[in-house]
Amino acid sequence: MTRVYNFSAGPAILPEPVLEQAAAEMLDWQGTGMSVMEMSHRGKEFVSIAEQAEADLRELLDVPDDYRVLFLQGGATAQFSAVPLNLVGDAESVDYINTGSWSKKAIAEAQQYTQVNVVAEGGKGDPMAIPDRSEWQCDPSAAYFHYCANETITGVEFPAIPDVGDVPLVSDMSSTFLSRPLDVSRFGVIYAGAQKNFGPAGLTVVIVRSDLLDRASSRTPAVWHYHRQSEADSMLNTPATYSWYIAGLVFQWLKREGGLKAMGERNERKARRLYDAIDGSDFYRNPVAPDARSWMNVPFVLADDRLDKQFLEEASQAGLKTLKGHRSVGGMRASLYNAMPEAGVDALVDFMAEFERKNG
């Protein structure tokens, strides 16, 4: 068996020990004679898996007691609708900042339900940047303020949690969730699809502050109704049981690896190594302003895009896979999620230097 270095933006690389444990438990989970996939979600075995996953996630993120953790389906895209449906309440409008494609999609969905005030437009131009906080046209009576913490496609990441006063802060953290420590108490709602940084597709974690649970529109679909799902322990209907189980194994792996502080240090080293290599050459370029550069998704272009195809082919032969940039951006993109080992980044940087030497 040969494992490659998989730089996919999502679904993405998972920690090898997690996959090994899942393989070992595939036919018989802890003496039950069943796969987790075959278990009733209401049985005590699966309930214990679900509760352990939530407890481990709460420990990793130090989630305060007045927050509920939900394990839902529908991806982050469902949350683009669920957030306004659950949170607008009596308010007249909501604030969003646009920093790229995923922000834009969230805005378009929210516009179906309420008036959206776009406080600032960023994530465009060269270098791409996040508009300065002093330029944001925020509305203090907005139901909430929404931002995409890390734009997966363009690699634009907020370096810190924005300050929006008393307006509940909502964040799409799909591609940065669990990549470093996070002060959950600053947020009203955090949501993240699992398939970027903590599990298989099909699972979306939503962390919601309890005082926001009583604002949902009566038209909110039951499966995305935060209060109803919270009362049902995220089992109002059948949850994504296998994805939930794998996410739980990832949470245990993160704890064994030293938690989010250790993970953040490792991720910063990985990102710096790649950005340094890009900045140190005239052959490669990253178009994002240094203080908005993502630790998780690093897009880069070659000075001569006629070499793109050859770069991807030779990288693939060297076991460096899925480096093609998003179709809307072109070039390359290396996703460096938690499960990408430092050796994978070293291999990429070495390959890039060698490719430049031969073709530069």
Ligand X SMILES: *Cc1c(COP(=O)(O)O)cnc(C)c1O
Could you say whether residue 109 binds ligand X (CB under 6 A)? Answer: no
Could you say whether residue 208 binds ligand X (CB under 6 A)? Answer: no
144-203 residues in contact with ligand X (CB under 6 A) are 148, 152, 172, 174-175, 193, 196
Could you say whether residue 71 binds ligand X (CB under 6 A)? Answer: no
Give the shortest CB-112-to-ligand X separation in angstroms: 16
Among 21, 32, 77, 359, binds ligand X (CB under 6 A): 77
Give the shortest CB-174-to-ligand X separation in angstroms: 4
Which tokens is 42 given?
Answer: 């209401």
How many other C-beta atoms are found inside a 10 Å radius of the C-beta of residue 237? 11
Which is catalytic among the residues 102, 244, 253, 295?
102
Judged by beta carbon, residue 197 or residue 283, the one nearer ligand X is: 197
Q: Is 224 an annotated catalytic residue?
A: no
Could you say whether residue 123 binds ligand X (CB under 6 A)? Answer: no
Among 5, 14, 46, 75, binds ligand X (CB under 6 A): 75
CA distances from 136 to 24, 95, 163, 190, 216 (A): 51, 10, 11, 21, 27
Query: Among 271, 329, 240, 248, which Cα is nearest to 56's?
Result: 248
* x/- map, 9-48, ligand X, by CB under 6 A: -x--------------------------------------
Give the residue at shortest CB distance from ligand X: 75
At residue 358, φ and ψ (nearest 5 deg) are -80, -30
Contacts of 328 (CB under 8 A, 6+ apart): 101, 153
Q: How far is CA 249 from the centre of its chain?
A: 17
Among 46, 102, 144, 242, binds ligand X (CB under 6 A): 102
Residues 173/150, Cβ–Cβ less than 8 Å:
yes
**Where do we find the tokens 């030779």?**
314
Which is catalytic among the residues 172, 244, 253, 324?
172
Q: Is 172 an annotated catalytic residue?
A: yes
CA distances from 47 to 13, 233, 241, 346 (A): 27, 10, 10, 41
Segment interacting with ligand X (CB under 6 A) among 72-80, 134-142, 219-227, 302-310: 72-80
Give the shortest CB-267-to-ligand X separation in angstroms: 16
Which is catalytic among the residues 29, 56, 196, 324?
196
Q: Is 102 an annotated catalytic residue?
A: yes
Residues in contact with ligand X, counted by CB under 6 A, come to a total of 12
Among 18, 76, 323, 352, binds ligand X (CB under 6 A): 76
CA distances from 19 to 23, 79, 204 (A): 6, 28, 20
Q: Which residues are catalytic?
A: 102, 172, 196
Residues that bind ligand X (CB under 6 A): 10, 75-77, 102, 148, 152, 172, 174-175, 193, 196
